[in-house]
Homo-oligomer: A and B are copies of this chain.
Amino acid sequence: MTISDCSERELIARIQARLPPPPDWLLVGIGDDAAVVEPERNRAEVLTVDALVEGVHFDRAFVPPDAIGHRALAVNLSDLAAMGAAPRLALLSLALPPGLLIADFDGLVAGIAALAERTRVHVVGGNLTRSTGPLMIDISLTGTVKPRQVLKRSGARPGDTLYVSGTIGAAAVGLMMLRNSTTHPKRSTTGDMKDTEEQSRSGNVLTSVSPVVERCIQRYLRPEPRVRLGLMLARNRAASACMDLSDGLSDAVYQIAAASGVGARIDAGALPIEPCAREVFAARGADPVTEAITGGDDYELLVAVRPRTRGRLAAAIRHGGVPLTRIGVCTEDRAVVLSRDGGDTPLPGGGYSHFRSAEASSLDHARDDPARVEGSRAT
């Protein structure tokens, strides 16, 4: 059964069935010309939108529907986290190829709904349309933050310490593994193309992968946006600047440096590269440091901290749900460098990329999205 067999009302009913009861601030919900909500008192509102396009940001051959839904919401949640905002509501705009299986539609919605519930986001409205081409998921997300607690990119000063949350490099390895598994279907346990496809849909492309590689794959498929950490950093006023790593650590360092008018020195030896990722990069003859800082999709946070507010940072780390690692420092001169083996070189991955090879960018943060399925990085 495909979505062509359903009326739009039936599809909307399938979405509504997965939504929790409406919150009391929702004055008019799904079913009128637009949604009406009561604003939260004494809070500024934070708004972002991101789109996932099939063939650009994901490949249905190896990303299961619920992971597509999860990712579509996660990339937006990550943007709110980087502003220190508490997520509040979402508008969901889906462009669906008519041949999309109902089971896949349900999976997509389930992926969005599960992450929404966990992060207290309510879907207040949206739009369904047919697509003449790829599947596209566009999510607009709003959140709230006290005006004085907004985490901008522009507040870093020379002498501020740079921290990154969690680990980096795993998602890039996960994507590489998933891609290879479809390029070389013989690598699957059965060697049968059809079986491989079916396994892909359920997220089990590599039935014989080690738990370590599986961890990398899950980091790509179901990134965990650092909502709680962002909130804690904002409440404690512990960060002088913050942004998320949607395009990789290197890009984030360049962006914060440019927005703040500072330079940065990153200590290669301090980088929290996921061990499995380091292993895979090294086995392929690639430099783990370069790969880990230019690979995207990690959705961690890069945070600048004033030396005198490190005490506040400790509290944020305690309740943020994810470790922070000190990776470098902001500098007076405007150079952005990698410190390694006693010498400084320009941090790899700087520079602007072209629309042709960089599949996505944002009015919010002028990025090229690294979750690309085709094309190569323009750095």
Contacts and interface: CB of A to CB of B under 8 A. Distances in A.
A31 interface: yes
A47 interface: yes
A38 B51 CA distance: 25
Contact of A28 (B57, B123, B152): B152
Residue among A27, A131, A134, A367 with most chain B CB within 10 A: A131
Contact of A34 (B83, B89, B130): B83
A45 to B, nearest CB: 5
Copies in the complex: 2
Interface string A345-379: 00000001111101111111111110000000000
Interface string A113-142: 000000000011111111111101010101
Given A6-B355, A138-B138, A358-B8, A133 B130 contact: no
B34 A80 contact: yes
Nearest to A360: B129
Given A8-B358, A39-B44, A79-B34, A15 B363 contact: yes
21 contacts: A7-B354, A12-B366, A27-B147, A31-B259, A32-B154, A32-B365, A34-B48, A34-B83, A34-B364, A35-B48, A36-B47, A36-B83, A37-B44, A38-B44, A39-B39, A48-B125, A50-B93, A50-B127, A53-B129, A56-B129, A129-B359
